[in-house]
Structure 1
Amino acid sequence: MKRHFVRVITITIVTFLLGSGIDDLTRLETALGLDTLFKIRGTRTPPPEVVVVAMDEASESRLRVGQDLTRWRGYHAKLVQELQRQGPALVVFDLQFIASHPDQDPAFATAVQAAGNVLMADCVQKLRRGVEDFYGRDECSENNQDPFVQREGEQAQLLSEHLIAMRPIPATPVLAEAALDHAPFYLTNDAENSIVREGWIFLDEIAELPTLPVVTWLYYLKHTGVLQDIIPSDIPLSVWLTERRRQCVPGLDATTKSLAEKNKVENQIDEVICHEDTRYLDYYGSPQTLRMESYSDVYEGKVNDLKNKVIFIGKVNRKFSPGKTDVFQTPFTDTRSGRMAGVEIMATQFANLLESRFIKPPFPPSLSLMLFGLVVGLLLTQFAGYPGMAASFLASGTYVGLAVWCFNRTGLWLPIAVPVLIQLPIAWLISLLWSRRDLLNERKRILAFVRRVFPQWMPFLPASPGQWYPEKGTAQLTSERDVCGLCLATDIEGYTTVAAHHTSHQMWELLSAYYQVLGHPVSSHDGIIADVTGDAMMAVWIDLPIANQRLAACLAALEMEQEVGRFNETSTVGRLPTRIGLHEGDLTLGRLDAGEISSYRAIGDTVNTASRIQGVNKYLGTQILASAVIVGELKNIIYRPVGFFRLVGKEEPLELAEIVGRTNALSESINTMHNQFAWALSAFQQGQWESAITSFQNILAIHTHDGPSQFYLNLAKIYQNNPPSEWIGVVALDGK
């Protein structure tokens, strides 16, 4: 059991550490596992409230603006007016109105102010190493090339390569003041060729500013009327969100209500504000999965069902073309679909907020990897070799199925790439190496036993697995060996009755299974099965230190008792209650020739005495008896002396002890009973029959099935009426 536990823990820890390490270095779980879950799930229906108005190729041609975004400015005023005719909930521009256009901005600002529900995106500009590396979208970088972080007094000094700074750049003042609110929206630079899997909720590097999808979500909730008395109406929600984000620091939010006082919407808002600054986006599918209308169609009044919708306006390339800007890779993009526009990603993040559904693990990924390694380790240890590999493979398939189901249903993300591709093969390799090591150790043990006991067979054993040399003959060596060892004898109680009620084939099947159960504790505790005859088995322990030999045999006997009990509970053919006896002394291991047949077994008085001790169990109603010298100095074994006996065919009396269990398995009541039994047995051995009778009766009043107490009570009553002539405290048995 301890060996199995060590193997399970080793497989768990090794697979967890290697899997986690490889994932940290390669991002395997995100790059392969998460993307695979998306592809297995496929397209998901987006919320109907979300509409993308695409500044696409068709609109470029019909409005004759080309790809120059500055030429679109003159059309936005009429677009906003056309949208307001239909009554949308919000209009969100994913465009940077940084450069001023005096001839067009006033009309646009007037339309925006009249609408009262227009939100605009601030550009987030990021620089590294002075003016050499600028990251931003469109004119955000093109028109703002001045360094904004420099060392004091060193105006010409470039920034350190490792120093990265970020700043938001809003629209021109006339447009920013006309808009309902504005907030930044930031995506990773397309030149980095990275897949966009996460969206920013807050930009903590820029004074805890909320991003535009979050601001849009909160304004939409306000539009639906669910935020009454929850948020103030006298300040922009982007400002309120920043203040609340800063209050999330422990100890600063003294006005926050308890969770019990908050409704579902309040708790959801708190969860968005006060948790991670990024979330994994739950994409709905490939580009253009969200409802998308052409800018020119909306502009010309051809789209009429936009009431209470949230309209996201931005540049979209409907036709795949390399070299386009403001397009990004997602788990669903490929060479056929093309990349996804930034405005679609913004709309996706808003839709996730609206559904309160992002991709997130149900618990820390490290815990998932640890539990997966533990389950695989248990299966590989419980079912060794190929059965264990098959069981772990089926368990892995079940786990992957559960992960796919959770992902499809709720967006919960369980790791699959690292467990299946890293942890499972490593666990298999460890298991196979351990099986190989066990095989070699078992072979060494067998060879050592043969070398000690049957040296004449050594020349015929294979030098290595798979080899056999039957033609190798050597001089005949001695066929026996005298050793000092310990014998364990077993016998089945009522075997004759059981055999009489079953066919020979049924008894063969029953005994075959029974001896498998009986033999395992012997081999696992370094014992050797010396003989099996009918319903009896003989095992021996040799060539071990005396204390180790005694402890191993006692532990094997206790395990036999437990395993036979389980066997009898599950057996459908018959029960085989078993008695066990242990004795140590000199014995001979050798070959006996009977005609042309030879058999090897243990022979000697020690073997016979172990068998006689086993037989005493039927008198005392016990299961495991041993000569007292075996258990006398063992601290890990619970036993109780049961008296001196003169066995059949023996002149010298022998003190016996019942082996009860291990030291950590003794209850207080049993300990008390053992003490009472020792006192009663002492009275019996001194011939104090009346006192012994009373004491044994007191024990049986509580422990009605204690066999030794019942045996001595009956004997004391007989001796009280007819005392032995020469009593020395030894019980003479007249049967085996």
Structure 2
Amino acid sequence: MAGIRMWLKGLMLGAAIGCISAAFALSPAGIALEEGLGLPLLFAIRGRVPPPPDVAVVAINQRAAEALELPPHPRNWPRSVHGELIDTLVAHGASAIVFDLRFENRSDEGGEGDESAESGEDEAFAAAVERANRVVLLERMDKRRELFAIDEEGATATAEADRAMGPVEPLAQAATVVAPFLLPKTAGNINQFWAFWPGDGPVATVPTAALWLHALRTDRNAVRPIQALVAGEQRRLPAAAGGDGAIPVREMLRRARQGLAGRSDIVAALEANGDAAKRPPASILTRRLAALFAGPDSRYLNFYGPSGTIPVIGYDVLIAAARAGMPAAIRLDGRCVFVGVADYSTPTQEDGFPTVFTGADGIDLSGVEIAATAFANLLTDTSLRSLAPLTSAAMLLVLCSVIGFYVLAVPARLAVPAALALAVAYVAVAQILFNRAALWLPLVTPALAIALLVVSALYCHYVIARRQREKMQQAISYYIPERVVQGFADSGGDMSAANEVVYATCLAADMEDFTPLAEGMRPGEVASLLNSYFDAIAKPINDRKADVVEFRADGMMCAWTAPQPQAEVRARACAAAIGARDAAAAFAAKVAPRPLGVRLGLHDGEVFVGHSGGGGRFVYGIVGDIANTASRIEGLNRYLGTRLLASAGVVRDLDHLRVRPVGQFILKGKNEPLSIVEIVGRRDTVSVQTETLCRRFAVALQAFSAGNAEAAQVLFAALLRDYPADGPSRFYLNRLLGEEGEQAGQEAPMIIRMGTK
């Protein structure tokens, strides 16, 4: 049952942390944390991967400007050079050409030193663009706050609207498609791109337009099912570009997006449209185009590596090779070629953006490489995908529940390895899915959740272990003092750590006439009676915090210890003895008519307290002459007819007690005499009658000690007439009559030697 409870606790703990983790993972802070730490880690582990062979970059940089003897800044280059580049790329079989350059001004509007400011440059460039019939030109998209109403009181109303800044005429008319390329604003790395700008109607961006043109050149039939589905019937697309200019293609892309957005059944719809018997299954490219139009507006970039991973050829190298009639440095047939600034030699990299692959050298990915990466992602349908919010939350809940189950179900020493093993397994699965399926699972949030689970589990194990230890200590403390149990645990189980020689006041207690009482009872009845009896007399002993309590058959041996002799220790022992005597009397009254009584003896001095035994069995107790003497004093009660005796040293300076000296005795097995007193009780509780008895007994004992036997005999006899139950008076009278004890010697007639216990 305990194991099952631990499993349930683990599941509950994991579920609670899983819910918290899921809520955090779906929050803006959680998403930002995954983008800032988790995503770079996945890319770092995966490393560089080869891009698809259908994309290349033509780099405009300072070296190209110098080699072609052109101005340093590309905006000042004569646009006829770009026309020459287009003709070269067409000659090499490029499927689509994308210019990541802005042509918002006419070339003849350039300033001094602007070599593009020559008449006819725009027309020459436009002619090359039109001849190619596969060129995408860049459009800048801005959000502007514009005035749209003024009421009678002069109040204004404004709204945000998209403002497009496309290339100048005649370039806009010549371009096959004019499209923007927008990256979401972020303070950190660039991680996403827009496939469609969701402003005033969906606008296809550069990567989307490039993919459409690439499909037309490499697999013209791939676009027909989509156009047919959008138009409602199969139509033949005019020319290779699918329209007479930018508007038809741009409008086609807009309509395709509007008609297919969010449709999960898009592939089935494409294959079902028209005569299924005459149409083959949708091609791979058709499926990827369908996924593009049906998918989200923005997507996460699946980078292939640092700058230069996508094949790059210098602008000057390509032009020089064409002018010399030589082949290009890389194969361009069937490739979508992106043309833009990619200069890694200048200290201030122009058009560079920080990404997960920005290295220690500070080289960022250029904008044109990011555009090429986005195109390649769309072409292969490998832009990163994250789990749906509910799926992600469910995954975190299950993961945390499983780990919570394990870390609490296994022992504490295995909790951390178990959690680490499960965490490594999760990271491995996440990395495999990232590498092979472009599926991005969160890393940082699960790591934090697992860490929190481990800490929580260790704390739970600690609390459970502490409770078990406390229960064990409580159980052992019934047999061994609690402080000894604690010391034994703290010493790592070293038994000798609990052994010590200390000052102690020992109390010996024994049930009176136990043997004849037990003979007439069943064993179970005897045990029950003993337990009840010990419960009664042990309470005052425990209340005075005895350090050692031993039960020996029908007797007890207790000790109050201290490093040095202390009156407070003796006072507690005496108070406990008085309480035990009174408790035994009260208990005897309850179980009458059975004869029950207790005899108690106190002595103090140095004792050994610790473990003793052998053969693998030990007991914790008191060893030493002091304990034996306390037992002998307890036995003396039998002869004196008393209940509570102590050596005189025990009660020294304890003025709050009323004691009655009862003489000097050499106890059985001893050589030295001891002054013994009877502890009558606290002075404030002693009756006048008892006080009178004590004073008269002291006079009689003095006569005995002085050797005046006749006077002592008269005095003790008188005491017994007034106090017939007084045991010490009867003992001495019998002694004087020759019936009790032995004389220690002629030199000490007042000392009595006891021959028996």
The equivalent residue for 2:755 is none
Query: Hey, what's the Cα distance between the residues in 2 that align with 1:113 and 1:481?
Result: 113
Q: Counterpart of 1:216?
A: 210
Q: Residue 674 of structure 1 corresponds to which residue in structure 2?
A: none
Deviation string, structure 1 residues 304-342 (Cα, Å, up to 9, x no partner): 3422221111111132522x4321011111242611111
8 Å contact kept, 1:455–1:477 = no
Preserved contact between residue 259 and residue 267 of structure 1 (Cα < 8 Å): no
Distance in 2 separating the partners of 1:387 and 1:252: 46
Q: Does 1:379 align with 2:406?
A: yes
Deviations 1:515-560 (A, max 9, x none): xxxxxxxxxxxxxxxxxxxxxxxxxxxxxxxxxxxxxxxxxxxxxx
Paired residues of 1:33 and 1:417 also in contact (CA < 8 A): yes
Max radius of gyration: which structure?
2
Q: 1:246 to 1:370 in 2, by over 3 A?
A: same
Partners of 2:16 and 2:423 in 1: CA distance: 18
1:77-136 CA distance string (max 9 Å, x none): 22222222223211111112111235221111111111111111211224xxxxxxxxxx
Matches within 5 A, 1:155-174: 166-174=162-170
Q: Does structure 1 conserve the Cα–Cα contact (< 8 Å) formed by 2:291 and 2:381?
A: no
Report SS of the residue matched to 1:312: strand
Q: Which residue does 2:347 correspond to in 1?
A: 321
* Distance of 2:401 and 2:270 partners within structure 1: 39
Q: Does 1:58 align with 2:85?
A: no
Partner Cα distance (1:56, 1:383) in 2: 62
Matches within 5 A, 1:248-259: 248=260, 257=269
Quote the Cα distance in structure 2 between the aligned partners of 1:55 and 1:165: 33
CA contact (8 A) 1:19 1:423 kept: no
- Deviation for aligned residue 1:53: 0.9
* 2:106 paired residue among 100, 103, 126: 100
Structure 1 residue aligned with 2:460:
434
Aligned residue identity for 1:413: W
How do 1:660-679 residues align onto structure 2 when only pairs under 5 Å count?
none
Q: Distance in 2 between matches of 1:101 and 1:477?
A: 118
2:24 is matched with which residue? 21
Tell me the residue number matched to 1:696.
none
Instruction: Describe the superposition over 1:28-70 as per-residue Cα deviations: whole angstroms up to 9, x where unpaired.
Output: 2221121112122221111222111111111121232212514
Quick one: which of 230, 254, 263 aligns to 2:282? 263
Instruction: Give distance in 2, aligned partners of 1:52 and 1:347.
Output: 7
Displacement of 1:470 in angstroms is 5.4
- The alpha-carbon deviation at position 448 of structure 1 amounts to 4.6
Give 2:134's match in structure 1, choosing from 86, 102, 117.
Answer: 117
Alpha-carbon distance, 1:413 to partner? 2.1
2:426 corresponding residue in structure 1: 399
CA distance in 2 between counterparts of 1:183 and 1:428 reads 51
Q: Does structure 2 conserve the Cα–Cα contact (< 8 Å) formed by 1:97 and 1:170?
A: yes
1:501-650 alignment to 2 at 5 Å?
A: none
Does 2:80 match 1:84?
no
Q: Is the 8 A contact 2:353 2:366 kept in 1?
A: yes
Distance 1:320 1:156 in 2: 53
Secondary structure of the residue that 1:423 maps to in structure 2? helix
1:122–1:184 Cα contact (<8 Å) kept: yes
Extract unaligned runs of 5+ from structure 2: 109-118, 228-234, 274-280, 492-496, 512-525, 530-611, 621-757
Query: Is 1:361–2:386 an aligned residue pair?
Result: yes
1:337-361 CA-partner distances (Å, limit 9, x unpaired): 6111111111111111222212223
Aligned to 1:34: 39
Which residue pairs with 2:253 in the alignment?
241
Confirm or deny: 8 A CA contact 1:12 1:374 kept in the other structure: yes
TM-score normalised per structure 1:
0.56
**CA offset at residue 437 of structure 1?**
1.1
C-alpha contact 1:219 1:237 (8 A) present in aligned 2: no
SS in structure 2 of the partner of residue 241 of structure 1:
helix
SS in 1 for 2:82: helix
- How far apart in 2 are the matches of 1:238 and 1:278? 18
- The counterpart of 1:175, out of the listed 166, 171, 177, is 171
Q: 1:259 to 1:462 in 2, by over 3 A?
A: farther
Aligned residues: 463
The one of 466, 470, 486 equivalent to 1:444 is 470
- Structure 1 315/438 Cα, relative in aligned 2: closer, same or farther at 3 Å? same
The 8 Å contact of residues 57 and 318 in structure 1, kept in 2 or not, is answered as: no
CA distance in 2, matches of 1:357, 1:200: 15
Q: Which residue of 2 aligns with 1:462?
A: 486
Return the letter of the residue paired with 1:405.
I
1:611-670 deviations in whole A, cap 9, x for unaligned? xxxxxxxxxxxxxxxxxxxxxxxxxxxxxxxxxxxxxxxxxxxxxxxxxxxxxxxxxxxx
Give, in angstroms, the shift of residue 449 of structure 1.
4.2
Distance of 1:9 and 1:257 partners within structure 2:
45
The aligned amino acid for 1:76 is H
Measure the CA separation in 2 of the matches of 1:250 and 1:437: 52
**Partners of 1:320 and 1:338 within 8 A in 2:** no
- Measure, in 2, the Cα distance between the counterparts of 1:18 and 1:428: 14
Q: How far apart are the structure 2 equivalents of 1:256 and 1:238?
A: 25
Matched, 1:153 2:180: no
Please give the alpha-carbon distance, in whole angstroms, between the structure 2 residues aligned to 1:293 and 1:338: 18
Candidates 292, 300, 304, aligned match of 1:284: 304
Distance 2:409 2:395 in 1: 21
Query: Structure 2 CA distance, aligned partners of 1:478 and 1:259?
Result: 102
Structure 1 residues 463 and 153: alpha-carbon distance in aligned structure 2, compared to 1, 3 A threshold: farther
Aligned residue for 1:286, secondary structure, equals coil
- The Cα shift of 1:260 comes to 6.7
- State the Cα distance separating 1:433 from its structure 2 match: 0.9
> How has the CA–CA distance of structure 1 residues 353 and 456 changed in structure 2, closer, same or farther, with 3 Å as cutoff?
closer
**Matched residues in 1 for 2:362 and 2:346: separation?**
7
Distance of aligned partners of 1:196 and 1:113 in 2 relative to their CA distance in 1, 3 Å threshold: same
The DSSP-based 3-state class of the residue aligned with 1:317 is coil
Whole-angstrom distance in 1 between the partners of 2:258 and 2:363 = 39
Give 5+ residue unaligned stretches, structure 1.
Answer: 127-146, 484-592, 601-736
Q: Residue by residue, what CA displacement relative to the aligned partner does 1:487-509 show, whole Å, maximum 9, x if unpaired?
A: xxxxxxxxxxxxxxxxxxxxxxx
Residues 690-705 of structure 1: pairs in structure 2 closer than 5 A:
none
Q: Secondary structure of the equivalent of 2:193?
A: strand
**Of the candidates 38, 48, 53, which is equivalent to residue 48 of structure 1?**
53
Instruction: Please report the RMSD computed on the Cα atoms of aligned residues, expressed in angstroms.
Output: 3.8
